[in-house]
């Protein structure tokens, strides 16, 4: 299955949050009130006004210091989306997969409302959220209108370090393999997560659990 893919090189992410802000700007999403709850991750989780979030976590290193783990997260546009499978059991076509692989919600809000609970519960990463403002479930839509017009997604365009990349499947997989080889050379380890299942490929150099703290 071809189509569009993201490639996230976590070794290049500096947590500038340019992708997070670009997403808000493109989607005209307001900032929310936040508080210091013991982490620089802000807000604490994805929400109805936040479709992309840079997760922060820190863990002790062998050198007796702390290491940051940054992880820009949004919908992974799964190749066989569990959310769509579950939603179809409630109401057909509440979720549509477009021609380049974006997992999208129907504009039929009545239909979508019926399936909202199933959609939220079925996502392995709990990505979709209810928007009080829009009165519907929301998440990353792969900037499908920009992509259909030949543009990159707003978030990947904003990334200044080459951490968040977007393009054709073959291009992203080639880049992922090159960066994986470079990471193994530099750090002695590395892997691409969920390679066969999703359209967002993550290169990590440590245990997956270290990159994705449970939100408070
Ligand atoms: S990441 Fe979650 S919301 Fe996105 S397509 Fe996969 S199951 Fe659906
Ligand atoms: S692809 Fe578009 S909607 Fe999705 S996280 Fe990036 S900017 Fe937001």
Whole-structure pTM value: 0.94
Structure token digits, residue 2: 């071809």
Any ligand 2 atom below 6 A from CB of 155: yes
CATH of the domain at 99: 3.30.70.20
pLDDT, position 213: 53
Q: Answer whether residue 24 is part of any domain.
A: no
Look at residue 112 and give its three-state secondary structure.
Answer: helix
Structure token digits, residue 141: 């839509």
Any ligand 2 atom below 6 A from CB of 143: yes
Q: Answer whether residue 30 is part of any domain.
A: no
Any ligand 2 atom below 6 A from CB of 95: no
- Looking at the structure of the chain, the number of domains it has is 1
Per-residue confidence in pLDDT tens, the chain, 216 aa: 579 999 999 999 999 999 999 999 999 999 988 888 888 899 999 999 999 999 998 898 887 788 999 999 999 999 999 999 999 999 999 999 999 999 999 999 999 999 999 999 999 999 999 998 899 999 999 999 999 999 999 999 999 999 999 999 999 999 999 999 999 999 999 999 999 999 999 999 999 889 875 443
Any ligand 2 atom below 6 A from CB of 153: yes
Q: State the Cα torsion 81-174-69-146 to the nearest 10°.
A: -60
Nearest CA to ligand 1 atom 2: 123
Q: Answer whether residue 133 is part of any domain.
A: yes
Look at residue 92 and give its three-state secondary structure.
Answer: coil
Q: Answer whether residue 28 is part of any domain.
A: no
Q: Answer whether residue 99 is part of any domain.
A: yes
Q: Answer whether residue 139 is part of any domain.
A: yes
Residue range(s) defining the domain that contains residue 98 = 82-145
pLDDT, position 17: 97
Nearest CA to ligand 1 atom 7: 123
Nearest CA to ligand 2 atom 6: 155
Cα 41 to averaged position of ligand 1 atoms, centre (Å) = 22
Q: Answer whether residue 202 is part of any domain.
A: no
């Amino acid at each position: 299955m071809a189509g569009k893919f993201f490639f996230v090189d976590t070794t290049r992410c500096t947590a500038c949050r340019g992708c997070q802000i670009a997403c808000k700007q493109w989607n005209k999403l307001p900032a929310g009130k936040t508080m210091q709850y013991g982490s620089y991750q802000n807000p604490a989780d994805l929400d109805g006004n936040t479709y992309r979030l840079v997760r922060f976590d820190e863990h002790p290193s062998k050198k007796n210091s702390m290491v940051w783990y940054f992880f820009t997260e949004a919908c992974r546009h799964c190749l066989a989306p569990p959310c769509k499978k579950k939603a179809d059991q409630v109401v057909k076509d509440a979720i549509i997969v477009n021609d380049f692989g974006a997992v999208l919600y129907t504009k039929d809000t009545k239909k979508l409302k019926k399936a909202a609970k199933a959609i939220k519960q079925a996502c392995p990463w709990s990505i979709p959220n209810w928007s009080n403002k829009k009165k519907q479930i929301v998440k990353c839509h792969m900037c499908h209108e920009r992509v259909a017009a030949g543009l990159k997604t707003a978030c990947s365009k904003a990334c200044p370090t080459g951490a968040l990349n977007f393009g054709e499947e073959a291009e992203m997989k080639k880049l992922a393999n090159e960066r994986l080889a470079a990471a193994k050379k530099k750090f002695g380890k590395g892997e691409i997560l969920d390679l066969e299942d999703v359209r967002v490929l993550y290169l990590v150099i440590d245990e997956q659990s270290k990159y994705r703290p449970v939100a408070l």
